[in-house]
Amino acid sequence: MTRISDAVKHDHALIQRAFHQLREADPDARKPDEFVWALDRYLIVEDLVVSPALDNHIAKGKERHRRLSEDVDSINEKLRHMQAYKPAEASFDTSLSAIWVDLEPHMREETVTSGDLGLLEASLSREASESLGRRYEDIRELLQRPYGEDGVPDQRTLTAILEMPREELMVKLGVSGE
């Protein structure tokens, strides 16, 4: 079974790969959808699973949740800003780099032993971590499943998901708050 930290690290690797592929692609041939969707899906699932777990299972969890929410808000804001530009525009590159400035330290800090995931794992039994990991993967799969071969929704669907209030999204996914 997958522990919660392994599930999150798996998403980190997907996001990093999509980022580097986007960054290295010919600007005229870039397709940012895979990166945008991998990052958005991660941010949504982290908000629905990891943040509540921090609140409930670690010391100063509410403070860490608040900091995590600030990271998510900043990354989301920069991601929306990037989407305002065509992939071949210089402003797209600048916006993509700005996302990475927030995202890379967030992922690195989250996975160190003293980071959110390390503290969360230390506070959970193996079974509880695996249960949380299963929940994380189940929600990620629910967000992934209906969208074609590469798992990227069309622009209309993506916009609807991203603009949906958290509570409404939780109801549609059949997820209750922890």
pLDDT tens digits for range 103-116: 999 898 888 877 88
The whole domain housing 85 covers 4-173
Asked whether residue 54 is assigned to any structural domain, the reply reads yes
Asked whether residue 178 is assigned to any structural domain, the reply reads no
Q: Is the pLDDT of residue 142 over 90?
A: no
Q: Which two tokens stand for residue 50?
A: 């990891």
Give the Cβ contact number of residue 33 at 10 Å: 18
Measured distance CA(76)–CA(36) in Å, rounded: 10
The arithmetic mean of pLDDT across residues 44-61, rounded, is 85
Q: Let me know if 175 is exposed, middle or buried by CB neighbors in 10 A (0-12, 13-18, 19+).
A: middle
Reported as half-sphere exposure (CB side, CA atoms, 13 A), residue 112 has a value of 7
Give the Cβ contact number of residue 1 at 10 Å: 11
Asked whether residue 86 is assigned to any structural domain, the reply reads yes
Compute CA 167 distance to the chain's CA centroid, rounded to the nearest angstrom: 17
Angle separating helix axes 90-111 and 116-123, nearest 10 degrees: 30
Asked whether residue 121 is assigned to any structural domain, the reply reads yes
pTM of whole model > 0.85? no
Q: How many domains does the chain have?
A: 1
Closest C-alpha to 52, from 29, 72, 68: 68
Asked whether residue 168 is assigned to any structural domain, the reply reads yes
Asked whether residue 72 is assigned to any structural domain, the reply reads yes
Measured distance CA(107)–CA(10) in Å, rounded: 11
Instruction: Grade residue 63 by pLDDT with cuts at 50, 70 and 90.
Output: confident
Asked whether residue 83 is assigned to any structural domain, the reply reads yes
Instruction: Give the three-state DSSP class for 165.
Output: coil
